[in-house]
Structure 1
Amino acid sequence: MNQASSTTTSGSAAGMHPREFVAFIAALMAVNALGVDLMLPALADMGAQLGVATANHRQWIITAYMLGFGSGQLVYGPLADRFGRKPILLATLAGFVAASVFAAGSQTFAALLGARVLQGLMSASTRVLAVAIVRDRFHGRQMARTLSVAQMIFFLVPIMAPTLGQLLLNTLGPWRFIFYALAAFAAFVLAWSSLRLVETLAIERRGSLSIAALGSAYRLTLTNRFSAGYAIAAAMTFGGIIAFVSSAQQIFVEEFGMGDRFTYLFAACAFAMGVASFANSRLVERLGTRLISQAAVLALIALSVGHIAVILLGVESLVSYMLFQALSMTCIGLCGSNFGAMAMEPVGHIAGTASSIQGFITSVGAVIVGSLIGQSYNGTTLPLAIGYLGIGIAVLGVVLVVEEGRLFHARQAP
């Protein structure tokens, strides 16, 4: 079957209008985004009630989730390639509901971290399967455009989530209700998947769970320089998001004294990523994934140098921080879906397993990068700015290796 007919067949199999399909993919992504961002306003309350003495240790509520999220992705791709997308998705969404209820009942910090790891393990399927389901239907620039539109909707979640979390705290009181809200949203997506999603992986395209088949898929994904290289590049840029999310509450509240406006300021930075995804969805088919992402990396480096200079000159303010942070998040937003599409392009025939491996690299790598930057927080914005400069330089180096020293060309992956 040729690519065109395959795309048409899988598209009709999805059982959804294109707009509903994009909204559904965005909802899958939102399960993970809410799992990270909804409790940001409650980190201080959680730490106080569960006896966390060091402020930086509260960041582990975020990083524990991301560790589970990254590790779980190794499992779901091969399972989805063998048994199909839908049954794996339904089982893990149900598991996320249970883990959220367990988190709500945690009586110690260790128990909460355990529940967060379990939440991450369950939500890992949403990243793997969202990419695999989209790849079942589309490829190349069309895939990047679809992911960008979904991510544009998805990025509304970080904009709204802290405000929603604060609203839950103000109206319902204890931080535990935040986890009940997560359980309710995951249950909604579970029902939507059960009723509306039709399996996108045809039986004749399903793979084997044999050691030989998995070894071949892993070898191809990890040895293809486009697949592995752009997954590593995505890990580094995603690490910038983890660093910001982990330290945002401390920066806005402790450094700038904006506790009463934290949710709005956080939303403004997240909004920049939504704008970037919207712009990417409109431009990527015309300009290409390489031109947009590589220009964004160079811009991130320039912005980081400028931000460091402002800090060292002693003129950093809330306004300057917001400006540099929002522009940096815009650059990161322009990298994400494009790096993901380029990483998947040469391994579309093993989309589930490849998405698992790439997702593991991206998520665990991001946790390492983000934690190193976040844990270096010292009461100023300098560690974050230096971290972003390091990310930009490292990503540029990876891109140059992958593209054999050439930038801004239309080369296609073999």
Structure 2
Amino acid sequence: MPAFPVFVAMMALLMGLTAMSIDVMLPALPQIQQAFALGDGNQQQQTISSYMFGFAFGQILYGPLSDSFGRKRVLLTGIALFCVATVAAPFLGAFGWFLFARFLQGFGCAAARIVSTAIIRDIYGGREMAKVMSFVMMIFIMIPAIAPLVGTAVLAVGSWRLIFGLLFVAGVSAYVWMVVSLPETLPEERRKPLAWGTLGKAIAKAATNRVTLGYTVAGGVIFGALMGYVNSAQQVFQDFYATGSLFPFWFGSIACAMMLASIFNSRLVERIGMRRMSHFAILGFVTVALVHVGLFWTVGAPPVAGFAVLIGLNFFFFGVLMPNLNALAMEPMADIAGTASSFIGSVTTMMAAAFGGYIGHLFDGTSGPLLMGFAACGLGCLLLVMITEKGRLFGVSEDEPVELPH
């Protein structure tokens, strides 16, 4: 087994492939629009949403497959698919085929996200697992802050196709590193036969549990706000606010709010509890979003610094909210944790891709549609949380029994 720092770096690289594959593309979207002669500027956003749909579909499969065939084989297959799609994407002449390659990129990269979590669970448990995940997530959260800067640097020396070359190098590096250094962590005697009937029953259990389904859907709705921002950020900053080459700086600065949220949440969640932290965060998110919308419609869009501060506050609350929503959704699913994790990840990502794509598609040359999308997703998430908790915000601790349907 690799030394602890090496293992953490390996897992961070696997999880970081997805964030890098999304955020490094943002500065290149105008060039992609020109390369494929897209008449509608908003069509370029499909570069992001097609990847996310592939990532969503892949998540539901890789967990059960790795339980049956072993972690390493499934992981390497997914990374190989990612690499093949990455090589093909920039050389496809039709935009539809380009989007299909992006879908396959996301589908392949889902293996890195799902199987890496399973590998960590195979090797570590309890507080040790939490320690590993904490280090991995700290590295992972840094990627959205630096990826647009990397993309901008690549564009300074070449075209948008060179970014796919960078992603290919990252994918091949991950593949070779895993082949050489990662042992199989799921021995033969612990593997489970791939039974689709059993899988269907497990998914049905997750889908019919009030707490799991409620918090899963709530997470998908609020994640949609984030994806709406990712889809339209380049246009908002460069077309509306005319920030030019400073776009990566503003994007990265806002992403740093999630780093602060991760630290804030890790220090308080054990003392305050997941429910109280998540309920506090969703109320904060909705309040900031409504204030931002109110300012936009009464006095006009704030200057770029004001926009960044308010969106940064939304990102802070999102960073507190999302991990707690996921944990709450998993809470009743201890006996089918692997399948439940795949179900929750797939549903939230699919919803986020759909809502985020729609919000981005509404871009009209101003920040208005994005702000309305944040408010709508925030209010939708709050409503779903209230329905899940039967109207008792802050009234339930995870140490107390949760009433589940019979």
Q: AA paired with 1:107?
A: G
Q: Deviations over 1:154-193 (max 9, x none)?
A: 121111111101111112x111110011011112222332
Between the aligned partners of 2:254 and 2:286, the Cα distance in structure 1 is: 18
Are the structure 2 counterparts of residues 233 and 197 from structure 1 closer, same or farther at C-alpha, using a change threshold of 3 Å? farther
Which residue does the alignment assign to 2:397? 410
**Is the deviation greater in 242-251 or in 289-298?**
289-298
Displacement, 1:343?
Answer: 2.2
Q: Deviations over 1:313-370 (max 9, x none)?
A: 2242112111111110111111222222222233344333222211210111001111
Between the aligned partners of 2:67 and 2:354, the Cα distance in structure 1 is: 28
**2:99 is the alignment partner of 1:127:** no
Displacement, 1:227?
Answer: 2.5
Q: Deviations over 1:181-237 (max 9, x none)?
A: 101111222233233333444544432322331122112221222322222122122
Between the aligned partners of 2:237 and 2:76, the Cα distance in structure 1 is: 38
Are the structure 2 counterparts of residues 240 and 47 from structure 1 closer, same or farther at C-alpha, using a change threshold of 3 Å? same
TM-score (norm 2): 0.91
Displacement, 1:137?
Answer: 5.6
Indicate the SS of the match to 2:331: helix
Of 333, 355, 359 in structure 2, the residue corresponding to residue 369 of structure 1 is 355
- The answer on whether the counterparts of 1:23 and 1:150 sit within 8 Å (CA) in structure 2 is yes
Between the aligned partners of 1:226 and 1:374, the Cα distance in structure 2 is: 30
Between the aligned partners of 2:119 and 2:196, the Cα distance in structure 1 is: 24
**2:88 is the alignment partner of 1:97:** no
TM-score (norm 1): 0.90
Which residue does the alignment assign to 2:194? 209
Give the number of equivalent residue pairs: 399
RMSD over equivalenced CA pairs, Å: 2.2
Which residue does the alignment assign to 1:248? 233
Which residue does the alignment assign to 2:331? 345
**2:347 is the alignment partner of 1:356:** no
Q: AA paired with 2:328?
A: M
Q: Deviations over 1:357-408 (max 9, x none)?
A: 1121011100111112111111221211221111122212222233333233
Between the aligned partners of 2:322 and 2:368, the Cα distance in structure 1 is: 24
**Is the deviation greater in 309-318 or in 189-198?**
189-198
Which residue does the alignment assign to 1:178? 163
Q: AA paired with 1:178?
A: I
Which residue does the alignment assign to 1:220? 205
**2:104 is the alignment partner of 1:151:** no
Displacement, 1:281?
Answer: 2.6
Pairs within 5 Å for 1:3-402: 15-136=1-122, 147-171=133-157, 173-315=158-300, 316-402=302-388
Between the aligned partners of 1:149 and 1:231, the Cα distance in structure 2 is: 25
Between the aligned partners of 2:123 and 2:376, the Cα distance in structure 1 is: 36
Between the aligned partners of 1:18 and 1:62, the Cα distance in structure 2 is: 34
Between the aligned partners of 1:306 and 1:18, the Cα distance in structure 2 is: 45
Q: AA paired with 2:218?
A: A
- The answer on whether the counterparts of 1:144 and 1:284 sit within 8 Å (CA) in structure 2 is no
Between the aligned partners of 1:18 and 1:349, the Cα distance in structure 2 is: 28
**Is the deviation greater in 154-163 or in 122-131?**
122-131
Between the aligned partners of 1:24 and 1:131, the Cα distance in structure 2 is: 12
Q: What percentage of residue pairs aligned between the two structures are identical?
A: 38
- The answer on whether the counterparts of 2:274 and 2:398 sit within 8 Å (CA) in structure 1 is no
**Please, which runs of 5 or more residues in structure 1 have no aligned partner?**
1-14
- The answer on whether the counterparts of 2:55 and 2:107 sit within 8 Å (CA) in structure 1 is yes
**Is the deviation greater in 133-142 or in 41-50?**
133-142
Between the aligned partners of 2:299 and 2:56, the Cα distance in structure 1 is: 38
Q: Deviations over 1:231-271 (max 9, x none)?
A: 21221222111111110010001111111211111111111
Are the structure 2 counterparts of residues 193 and 165 from structure 1 closer, same or farther at C-alpha, using a change threshold of 3 Å? same
Displacement, 1:149?
Answer: 4.0
Are the structure 2 counterparts of residues 283 and 17 from structure 1 closer, same or farther at C-alpha, using a change threshold of 3 Å? farther
Indicate the SS of the match to 2:332: helix
Which residue does the alignment assign to 1:9? none
- The answer on whether the counterparts of 2:257 and 2:316 sit within 8 Å (CA) in structure 1 is yes
Q: AA paired with 1:304?
A: A
Q: Deviations over 1:122-169 (max 9, x none)?
A: 112223223333444667888667545432211211111111011111
Are the structure 2 counterparts of residues 352 and 397 from structure 1 closer, same or farther at C-alpha, using a change threshold of 3 Å? same
- The answer on whether the counterparts of 2:273 and 2:398 sit within 8 Å (CA) in structure 1 is no
Q: AA paired with 1:370?
A: G
Q: AA paired with 1:267?
A: G
